[in-house]
Amino acid sequence: MKVTHISVATTGGAGIAAYRLHCALLKYTDVDSNFVQQYNLAKENLGAKVYTVPPVSSFVHKIKCHFEITPEHLNWKNTQRYPGDYEIITYPRTSYRIENLDIFKDTDIVHLHWVADFINYPSFFKKIKKPILWTLHDMNPFMGLFHYEGDRIRNEATLGKLDHKIFEQKIRYIDRNKDINIVCPSDWLKNKSQASLILGRYPHYTSIPHGIDLSKYPDLDRLMVKEKLGLNNGLKTILFVAHDITVYRKGIGLLIDAINQLDTSKFNLVSVGGGKIQLNSKINYIHFPKIHDISVLNTIYSAADLTVIPSREDVITNVMPESFANGTPVLSFSNGGMVEHIKTGENGILVEEISVKSLIDNLKDFLDNNYSFNNEDIRKYALDHFSEKLHAEKYKQLYEDILNKRK
C-alpha cells in the first residue's frame, strides 16, 4: 500500500505531527509512505522518501509574475486591501499544480495535512482520482480565510464579505472529489468539522491523537536535570513553550499578567521558543530560544514541575504529549483537544474560565502544594495514548478501511 502525504513542511506543529506519522509508518508498518512538501525548513536529513516541490518556473508563470497576476499576487493584494487583526489567512488558489507529479500515479491514498497556500484547490480536487484522507490540524479546511473561529469573529466587519466568498469557493472546489475522508487529532475538532457546510458531507473517522517517538523522551533524573539547568533552588519550576509569543490565540498575555501577580519567592519560570518575555525582574527566569535538539527539550521538560498551555483556542498541541512523556503535568484552559486528555489532579489542571484571575488562582493552588502528581503515572499515560507505534497502526488500519470501502 502506497500512501503519499502532502504538507507545507515538516516543521511547525502540524508539519512535525505529519512527518512523525510518515516516519512511524516506515518504522512500524509495511506501508510505503512518501512525503511531499512545499518548503524544506528542516535542520536534519529527511531521507529519500521526502520530496520538496521546486518553485513554479514555467514561462507562463514568469509572465504572470511580471504583471503581478499570479494567484499569490492577487491573494496578497486582497490581504493588503482588507487589513485585519488575525494570526493567518490563506486562500484556495495557488500557482502550484502538484497533482501532476508522477508520485501520485501509483499512490493508493493521498493523505493531506496542513496544505494551506500550497495545493491549488480548483485543479487538485478535480484531478486527483485516488481516495483522499485529510488529517485536520486546524479549522481552515472547513472555514474560509481563517484558521480559527476567534479570528473570524474579530474580523467580521472588515473581512466578512471576502471570507464568505472564499468559503463558497471552497465548497465548490472540494466537492469536485467525492472520495474524501476526514480524521482529526481530537473529538473537539471532529465535531466542528462534522457540523460544517464544507466537510460535513464527508465521512469522519475515529479521532487519532498525534503520536511521538517516546524513545527520544527518556525518563530522566529530575533532580539531576534541575541542577544542570540551575533550577535546583528548592522552588517549583513552571514551563511555557511556544513557537511565537506574539500570537494572540496562544494566550501569552494572559500568562504574563498572571505570572507577574504571583509570589516570586515560590517559583522559577522557564520559556522555550519565540522571544524572551518581559516579566517582573524579581522572578528567576530562564529563556531558551527555539530548540531543534529533542534531547535538550527533553531535559527542560524533565526539569519542570508544571507545563502551562494558556491558549485561548487550540486543537491539540504537541507540547502536551511531550510534557506527559517526561512525566510533567500540564495546566491548560478547558478548551479544544486538551480537555480530552488532561484530568485535573491526575496529569494536570484544567482551568474552566479563560481569564487572568482563573489562571492566577490555579497557579497559586499548584504552588501552595494543593496538587500531588505522580510523574510515573503521567508518563504511562503518554505511553498508552501517544506512542508512535500505536499512531502508525491506527493509521494503517484507517487506510485499509478506506480502500476496502472502494471494493
Residues 152-197 pLDDT 10s: 999 999 999 999 999 999 999 999 999 999 999 999 999 999 999 9
- How far lies 403's CA from each of 1, 3, 212, 397, in Å? 10, 11, 26, 10
Q: What is the pLDDT of residues 39-90, one digit of tens each?
A: 888 767 778 799 999 989 899 999 999 888 999 999 999 888 888 889 999 9
Backbone angles phi, psi at 170, to 5 degrees: -60, -40
Predicted local confidence at residue 43, as pLDDT: 65
Q: Are strands 180-183 and 109-112 parallel, antiparallel or unpaired?
A: unpaired
Predicted local confidence at residue 42, as pLDDT: 75
Contact between 333 and 351 under an 8 Å Cβ cutoff? The reply is yes
Does pLDDT of 3 surpass 70? yes
Say if 2-211+387-406 and 214-385 have the same CATH topology.
yes
Q: How confident is the model at residue 406 (pLDDT cuts 50, 70, 90)?
A: confident
Does pLDDT of 262 surpass 80? yes
Q: How confident is the model at residue 404 (pLDDT cuts 50, 70, 90)?
A: very high
Domains of the chain, residue spans: 2-211+387-406, 214-385
Q: Which three cell numbers stand for residue 346?
A: 491526575
d(Cα 256, Cα 241) in Å, to the nearest integer? 13
Predicted local confidence at residue 239, as pLDDT: 96
Q: Which residues pair with residue 2 across a beta bridge?
A: 32
Contact between 34 and 23 under an 8 Å Cβ cutoff? The reply is no
Choice between 275 and 360, residue whose per-residue pLDDT is larger: 360
Does pLDDT of 280 surpass 90? no
Write out the chain in H/E/C secondary structure.
CEEEEEECCCCHHHHHHHHHHHHHHHHHCCCEEEEEECCCCCCCCCCCCEEECCCCCCHHHHHHHHCCCCHHHHHHHHHHHCCCCCCCECCCCCCCCHHHCHHHCCCCEEEECCCCCCCCHHHHHHHCCCCEEEECCCCHHHCCCECCHHHHHHCHHHHHHHHHHHHHHHHHHHCCCCCEEEECCCHHHHHHHHCCCCCCCCCECCCCCCCECHHHCCCCCHHHHHHHCCCCCCCEEEEEECCCCCCHHHCHHHHHHHHCCCCCCCEEEEEECCCCCCCCCCCEEEEECCCCCHHHHHHHHHHCCEEEECCCCCCCCCHHHHHHHCCCCEEEECCHHHHHCCCECCCEEEECCCCHHHHHHHHHHHHCCCCCCCHHHHHHHHHHHCEHHHHHHHHHHHHHHHHHHHC
**Domain 214-385 falls under CATH 3.40.50.150:** no
d(Cα 25, Cα 19) in Å, to the nearest integer? 10
Please give the CATH topology (third level) of the domain spanning 2-211+387-406. Answer: Rossmann fold (3.40.50)
In the sheet that 267-272 helps form, which strands lie side by side, from edge to edge? 284-288, 267-272, 236-241, 306-309, 330-333, 348-351
d(Cα 360, Cα 367) in Å, to the nearest integer? 10
Contact between 136 and 108 under an 8 Å Cβ cutoff? The reply is no
223-237, 264-278, 360-374: least confident range: 264-278
Q: Which three cell numbers stand for residue 369?
A: 502544594
Predicted local confidence at residue 154, as pLDDT: 93
